[in-house]
Amino acid sequence: MSMPTSSSGSEDDTVVILRKLGLVVPGFYALYYVIAVVLALALSLDERDDDFRFVEMPFYHDGRTFNPANGGLPRVTWLSQVNAHARTR
């Protein structure tokens, strides 16, 4: 495999990569957030609860007490992460 000899070829590649990343990265996080909200509603988490925050989901959790086996927000956070990665592969 030969390397491009002119700098304009690699600049074009960089623009293409950045354009694709500009679509993929926000799309991934949008999908991640939607999956988290749907799972939270499906698991009947109460949005009025102080530990449950739609705005910060799925990024808010206490690292010291994070255990998906206990259910609640940690389970939603873990399941949404797994589902978002599975959907984007």
Structure-token pair, residue 43: 């698991």
The predicted pLDDT at position 4 comes to 54
SS3 string, 7-71, reads HHHHHHHHHHHHHHHHHHHHHHHHHHHHHHHHHHHHCCCCCCCCCCCCCCCCCCCCCCCCCHHHC
Domain ranges of the chain: 28-88
Q: State pTM to two decimals.
A: 0.66
**For each of the chain's 89 residues, which pLDDT tens digit applies?**
555 555 556 667 888 999 999 999 999 888 888 888 888 888 877 766 655 666 677 776 777 878 888 877 788 888 888 888 787 66
The predicted pLDDT at position 22 comes to 94
The predicted pLDDT at position 89 comes to 64
The predicted pLDDT at position 26 comes to 92
Distance from CA of residue 52 to its chain's centroid?
Answer: 18
**Rounded Cα gap, residues 28 and 19, in angstroms:** 15
